[in-house]
Amino acid sequence: MNVRQAMEYIEGLAGAGIVPGLQNIGELCRRLGDPQKSLRFVHVAGTNGKGSVCTYIASALQEAGYRVGRYISPVIFEYRERIQVNGRMITEKALCRGLERIREVCGGMLLEGLPQPTAFEVETALGFLYFLEKKCDIVVLETGMGGLLDATNIVENTVAAVITSVSMDHMKFLGNTLTAVAEQKAGVMKPGRPVISACQRQEVSDVLIRKARESGCPLTSVDCGKIRAVRYGLSRQRFDYGARKGLEISLAGQYQVENAALALETLDVLGEQGFSVTEAQLRKGLREASWPGRFTVIKKHPIFIVDGAHNEDAAKRLAQSVTFYFTNRKIIYIMGVLKDKEYEKIIALTHSCADHIITVTPPGNPRALPAYELAKEVARVHPKVTAADSLEEAVEMSLLLAGSEDVIVAFGSLSFLGRLMKIAGASLGKAAGKNGRSK
The enclosing H or E element of 322 equals helix 312-325
Residue 227 has pLDDT above 90, yes or no: yes
Q: What mean pLDDT comes out for the span 138-152?
A: 92
Domain with CATH 3.40.1190.10 in the chain: 3-288
Q: What is the pLDDT of residue 314?
A: 85
- With beta carbons less than 8 A apart as the criterion, state whether 129 and 98 touch: yes
Domain with CATH 3.90.190.20 in the chain: 296-434
Question: End-to-end distance of the chain based on CA atoms, in angstroms?
Answer: 44
Q: What is d(CA 299, CA 310) in angstroms, rounded to the nearest whole number?
A: 22
Query: Between β-strands 68-71 and 296-299, what pairing exists: parallel, antiparallel or unpaired?
Result: unpaired
Q: What is the DSSP string of 127-168?
A: HHHHHHHTT-SEEEEE-SS-STTSGGGG---EEEEEE-B---
Q: Per mean pLDDT, which of 172-176, 241-245, 254-258 is the most reliable? A: 241-245
Q: What mean pLDDT comes out for the span 187-200?
A: 96
237-241 β-sheet, strand order: 227-231, 237-241, 244-249
CATH class of the 296-434 domain in this structure? alpha beta
Give pLDDT tens digits for 96-142: 999 999 999 999 999 999 999 999 999 999 999 999 999 999 999 99
**Amino acid (one-letter) located at 207:** V
Q: What is the pLDDT of residue 437?
A: 40
State whether residue 59 is helix, strand or coil. Answer: helix
In 3D space, the residue among 383, 382, 409, 384 whose CA is nearest the CA of residue 395 turns out to be 409
Beta-carbon contacts of residue 34 (< 8 Å; ≥ 6 apart):
none
Give pLDDT tens digits for 48-71: 889 999 999 999 999 999 999 999
Beta-carbon contacts of residue 205 (< 8 Å; ≥ 6 apart):
197, 221
- For residue 299, give Cα distances in angstroms to 45, 139, 176, 408, 439: 31, 33, 39, 10, 7
Residue 301 has pLDDT above 80, yes or no: yes
Please give the CATH topology (third level) of the domain spanning 3-288: UDP-N-acetylmuramoyl-L-alanine:D-glutamate ligase (3.40.1190)
